Structure 1
């Protein structure tokens, strides 16, 4: 059932694939358009693959857990910067919120901090008639959401209208459960669209989902199941972005070969765990993919915005194999594997380095669900995989490998980015149970 405009911004909206065994379902919260739960049910066991609090409103106590991020993901330097694209000119003035010199994830009241409005398909302004037909016909479950960001909000020029599609895609031929066989349970698909409503203005735009995965937490086997260090991870990324001492882009891409950043061959996250002096260690870097055929259509030119355009169909039909298989996260212990694809040029990988054990942990993950009881997740408890463009891409064109500098002009062009996550399950063998 589609949500209504009277939807409580903290009331979960459930998306579920119908009549499938095993099953896949997603619980979405309109406030911050956050993925509160991602359920997988197989072999009589229910897994929730994302971390977080039990109660939706407890997300207010811990920012950026599974929420949408915008206008600009990751860290920007505080200051005033001139922008120009396609004859449009403007400025951006990132507001400090992480430190005096750093603006994080869109500023003090970014996309994660506001309620999103549910849309009926007939109310969409950024998805074509052909795309809406595909959404209604090919997705097993879906919802559309919108938000209008005011001119000047958090230092960004131009009134920005954004729509987001969140959907579940059924596997083409749902296989039966057979011990030892890996099978596709379905896919999560997110498509981000945006358009500047003010002619002649320009804005930097870099939208992502700040979701944190743990594929073993639902096993409730103590500290080991809460850590992602035993998870296997593979990246297509061959470059890592060099950062300065406060986490801002230093404007250089470095080769990952021979470093702890090389995940081109599958290995466990904890096998080369980075350590830092007087800190928890862990990963918090941006990784750049080689350009592939899918690294396109970040901006849809006005002449292409027609009722017949159907980029959604292309996303749904993209097979996450070969070069389109950008990231793979897996656990032999739980039997769950997620394969990610995206037209975004890279991924920020973060291991929840500053998580507190005093925060809330879901009951399905063995917590009490309440704050302050020492049952939080802790350092290394999640693999956050945030697909987006390089940090401050328009300031550092040398870090942009797919031609997208993240600038959007108010000339009718439409921002378009997507991520697709294929979720697999394989009954764990006895020696890893």
Structure 2
């Protein structure tokens, strides 16, 4: 009987000890959870970048998360100068084309990393009409106007505000485009917010209001090379575009007004295909663009949720997936990169060492009645968002 009592008493002590250990473990877990919840998973670092030829100060902002992704943005042109993401080995490398200096960005260049506006892509002969009045824009891609003109949004200094909360780091840029700037009517207040999340997603939110009827088509013009090695071309990148139709162009790269099926053509990327597979095929549209430089009509049933474009680079394992609420995407295969512009390490950007995927309304929409409208009226809010999600495939 005494032996039994001792056994019961011993078991009771063991039970109490177990409960005590469990309580301590729970308290430790709760403490660690609180510490994690109270800690920002992203950061923003501000630094001076330089001074423009006009004497304007330019700042740089680094958005960084805990999963190896960093995005550097300067206030000159709202340009993404660096974008680092990990490969399948966990090594983070820059995957966008850029320069080392502000002076180089101020020189004429193919819009590396820039915000584009007031109108992304081409407008035929730089002319369009609103309510019977014709407007003449600057011609900077003869015989047409391209990307807002020679002093477009890529060539101005934006105001910047930081916003950081837990798992998101945002940089909100703003610019006031005056009435008749580059020939466009209406004073346009523009806001572009870059947001980096801790799951390696970059969101770009575009917003605008106007005091006069105008046209607006904003986009982002980064050149990607997922290899992280800019001595290599993007021809070994695998591209998927969720699009059944193409916006064909004439000899000056202005839409013909028709939409063509991509089935049976080099423009069919509905299933994954290497960019280099058909780029040199005998095709009138490819000849006109010197490769791919066209707008695809997106299949986008759930706007902002449907993956409309995917790029995969097998050697590095890097994957980039995109969503948007825009009706089109311009895929440009870097056909006019010609080895004259310097890389960060003293080499040059050769032919097709970067690709662009610009979400947008179709080119020349102000002159094409059958295309989705780009007209913005006073009292209306222009708002559109595009996301770039990076991951690895091992």
Q: TM-score range by the shorter chain?
A: 0.7 to 0.9
User: Are 1:238 and 2:252 matched, yes or no?
Assistant: no
User: Are 1:41 and 2:86 matched, yes or no?
Assistant: yes
Q: Deviations over 1:98-144 (max 9, x none)?
A: 11x201111121000101011366xxxxxxxxxxxxxx546521111
Aligned pairs for 1:216-365 (under 5 A) are: 216-218=227-229, 223=231, 226-274=232-280, 281-294=290-303, 320=305, 324-363=306-345
When normalised by structure 2's length, the TM-score is: 0.81
1:36 offset after TM fit, Å? Answer: 0.3
Q: Is the 8 A contact 1:274 1:283 kept in 2?
A: no
Which has the larger displacement, 109-118 or 285-294? Answer: 285-294
Q: Deviations over 1:209-244 (max 9, x none)?
A: 0111001133x7xx5xx1111100000011111111
* Stretches of structure 2 lacking an aligned partner (at least 5 in a row): 1-43, 52-56
Q: Deviations over 1:167-222 (max 9, x none)?
A: 10122xxxxxxxxxxxxxx10000000000x2xx211100000111001133x7xx
Q: How far, CA to CA, are the matches of 1:385 and 1:327 in structure 2?
A: 8
Computing the radius of gyration from Cα coordinates, the structure with the larger value is 2
Q: Is the 8 A contact 2:179 2:187 kept in 1?
A: yes
1:55 offset after TM fit, Å? Answer: 2.7
The correspondence for 1:96, drawn from 125, 136, 139, is: 139
Aligned pairs for 1:159-178 (under 5 A) are: 159-171=187-199
1:4 offset after TM fit, Å? Answer: 9.5
2:370 aligned counterpart, secondary structure? helix
Q: Is the 8 A contact 1:275 1:281 kept in 2?
A: no
Change (3 A) 1:63 1:90: same
Aligned to 1:407: 375
User: Are 1:15 and 2:63 matched, yes or no?
Assistant: yes
Q: Is the 8 A contact 1:260 1:274 kept in 2?
A: no
Aligned to 2:390: 423
Q: Deviations over 1:39-94 (max 9, x none)?
A: 1135352311111223343122313111000000011012543214xxxx854322
User: Are 1:107 and 2:113 matched, yes or no?
Assistant: no
Aligned to 1:155: 183
When normalised by structure 1's length, the TM-score is: 0.74
* Stretches of structure 1 lacking an aligned partner (at least 5 in a row): 122-135, 172-185, 295-317, 369-374, 428-433
2:256 aligned counterpart, secondary structure? strand
Aligned to 2:360: 388
Q: Deviations over 1:326-376 (max 9, x none)?
A: 00001010110000000011110111111121311123xxxx2xxxxxx21
1:392 offset after TM fit, Å? Answer: 1.8
Change (3 A) 1:28 1:140: same
Change (3 A) 1:325 1:141: same
Q: How far, CA to CA, are the matches of 2:268 and 2:324 in structure 1?
A: 20
Q: Is the 8 A contact 1:346 1:387 kept in 2?
A: yes
Which has the larger displacement, 3-12 or 32-41? Answer: 3-12
Which has the larger displacement, 49-58 or 262-271? Answer: 49-58
User: Are 1:190 and 2:204 matched, yes or no?
Assistant: yes
Q: Is the 8 A contact 1:140 1:168 kept in 2?
A: yes
Change (3 A) 1:291 1:45: closer
Q: Is the 8 A contact 2:219 2:359 kept in 1?
A: yes
2:276 aligned counterpart, secondary structure? helix
2:392 aligned counterpart, secondary structure? strand
Q: Is the 8 A contact 1:331 1:337 kept in 2?
A: yes
RMSD: 2.4
Q: How far, CA to CA, are the matches of 1:166 and 1:7 in structure 2?
A: 21
2:106 aligned counterpart, secondary structure? helix
1:282 aligned counterpart, secondary structure? coil
Change (3 A) 1:356 1:60: farther
Q: How many residues align?
A: 341
